[in-house]
Chain A
């Protein structure tokens, strides 16, 4: 026999003999003597095998069984913890009102991670989750992949017409409804601006940088962690939305002749500016491009360690909460404009959709209607500071009392720019994220990075549009 062991054999055998003792050796021998009635060892063999197989099967089926309750709507939603808590209360209300059990799948706050898990579920054609929130950036992908079930019986009149037509109704059928709209806004410390010169909110990026560079050293004397400007620079979708705002109306994803280009002067200037914020002016924390996402940025500002913050409207009620260090000291203004071109907030927001593979179609639709109803959307505004997708809420007196800037923001938001609504947007975004982030890391020059990004985008397009006619 093959001897596979480098250890001395003799010792092993002696050890085994010693450890085994009389018991195991004796038992088998007597056992085999039992069938004296003519049976061979075969039936006992089979018996043992069957026993073992049954045990295995029982174990495995125990493990595989877990039946969920029937007719339950499963809702996948991600976001900041405060938002998720709100969804839980909303879910309880829905259950009470309609009697339909609702289960929430909590997802990470990172929008890319939310997308990854949804893509897996939908690609596997799973019946759960039935309802989910989609970033406006993915609707192109989800609708082209035919993962969304058409929403029937919904009155779309109260919602923003342009959004519905452009985003939610790509081929005539209504596939999603906006739950809230997002547009990047600038938060600033009113008290600091007043203390250091009575300025108003900056209207251009260079003005913002100038003010921050002036105020930061002064504040650093009392607060060593103070930075002038915090924004989302980590390598994820949030970086792209911030980048578009730095670039303004002449930059971002430029679409010409069916091609998407990034290598335009406005973008080169924007990337240079973003890099300088971190490396030259040093008014943005050095780990902005490795770790800062929405919640990190919000916490930074909320601790009182930043002068300016670029974030989404959800941060407003949190900044005004009781334990916030910047309560009543925060102002809100539109995104500044670059040197050439106008200011452009990036249109964001989440839409609600139903999976095409759902097993509880009627109940899912009911939940969609519940979420997008006037009252519930109003609750979202009051509690979370979201901009609703329903136009009729922008004149609600209660809302205007609590958030007076709401109406003005309505304007900002009407002019906000969407990202390209193409099915392969996630690929393009991944390319853009990587190159922008490498410029911020100091690994590439802006122009080269943008040129490289363009080359990769063209490669992606050629891969997907092979023989454009015959899809």
Chain B
């Protein structure tokens, strides 16, 4: 067999396996979400499609699903905006301004982002309970901002370094302050990078589990991942159909955002994370 054909076959196999691996469980999740009974893979169980599962999780108050979704979206959105907002000046300072120990700062924050969350959650819990913030949005927003700042910093630094210095200099000649330069020139010009960073921060906050598990108690501040992990449903056994429906709806924002902005995400990830 010629090398060309061998390569083609290998490629086709690779494509098929990749698609199967990545999409298989996802497809199973969607199938179960739309199925009336979760045991449709058993030999004598036909598959009957229904929207009942979705109806239950969306309209049943005691499942609290919409509240979890609301909490997740608000917390993630605020975290990502604040994280990018606070990381931008820092990234600008590192990219443009004279400062000793830039490498130390960059790699130091990188190291910090590697701490296992379990190693700080007990004390963070005590901190939050002292402030009486347990089970509020603040209890999650603050840690998420702190946690996403390192990677935001990295990505923004790499984008900001790309902005030509002439833009800075001409603005400075006109008497612009550094902050103005950041807001009016650098950010608009690096808009793709800023969007990637905000998106990555949003996705991280949305998917985060252990902080949400320990710092929230009920549906007033709990997020979707915890809600789905502890989902018990309304009747008897574990209601797989409803759990998968909840999973489908919960994955929707993130998957959509990923698909629409995938180029930006990939760029952002590899920009900041080729180092990682």
Contact = CB atoms under 8 A, between A and B. Distances in A.
Interface of A: 1-6, 9, 12-13, 16-17, 20, 24-25, 27-29, 31-33, 35, 40-42, 44-45, 48-49, 52, 56, 59-60, 63-64, 66, 80-81, 84, 88, 105-106, 108-109, 113, 117, 120-121, 123-126, 128, 295-296, 298-299
B217 A60 contact: no
B162 A13 contact: yes
B138 A81 contact: no
Which among B158, B171, B232 has the greatest number of chain A C-beta atoms within 10 A? B232
Contact of B233 (A29, A44, A81): A81
Given A63-B141, A81-B233, A44 B180 contact: yes
B243 interface: no
A5 B268 CA distance: 12
Interface of B is mostly: helix
Given A24-B184, A113-B230, 20 more contacts: A4-B161, A12-B162, A16-B189, A20-B188, A24-B189, A25-B167, A25-B185, A27-B184, A41-B176, A45-B177, A48-B183, A52-B85, A56-B85, A63-B141, A64-B136, A81-B232, A105-B217, A120-B134, A124-B128, A128-B135
Contact of A121 (B103, B181, B217): B217
Contacts of B271: 5
A340 B235 CA distance: 40
Interface string B139-168: 001000000000000000110011110010
Given A5-B161, A117-B217, A31 B177 contact: no
B11 interface: no
A29 B174 contact: yes
A126 B85 contact: no
Contacts of B129: 123-126
B189 A59 contact: no
Contacts of A105: 217-218
Nearest to A121: B217
B179 A48 contact: yes
Contacts, number: 137
B82 interface: yes
B171 A28 contact: yes
Interface string B38-77: 0000000000000000000000001010000000001100
Contacts of A6: 274
21 contacts: A2-B102, A4-B157, A5-B271, A16-B162, A24-B184, A24-B185, A24-B189, A32-B176, A44-B177, A48-B179, A48-B180, A52-B183, A81-B233, A81-B235, A84-B62, A88-B62, A109-B232, A120-B217, A124-B128, A126-B135, A295-B236
Contacts of A49: 179
Chain B residues touching A, range: 35 or more
A120 B230 CA distance: 16
Contacts of B234: 81
Interface of A is mostly: helix
Contacts of A125: 129
B189 A20 contact: yes
B184 A63 contact: no
B78 A59 contact: yes
A80 B175 CA distance: 69
B143 to A, nearest CB: 14
Contacts of A40: 175
Interface string B213-236: 010011010000000001011111
A108 B233 CA distance: 9
A66 B218 CA distance: 13
Contact of B232 (A16, A20, A45, A108): A108
Contact of B136 (A41, A48, A66): A66
Nearest to B267: A7
A28 B167 CA distance: 10
Contacts of A35: 175
B170 interface: yes
Contact of B177 (A5, A41, A108, A128): A41
A299 B162 contact: no
Contact of B184 (A31, A59, A81, A120): A31
B180 A296 contact: no
A153 to B, nearest CB: 29
B74 to A, nearest CB: 6
B2 interface: no
A16 B161 contact: no
A28 B186 CA distance: 11
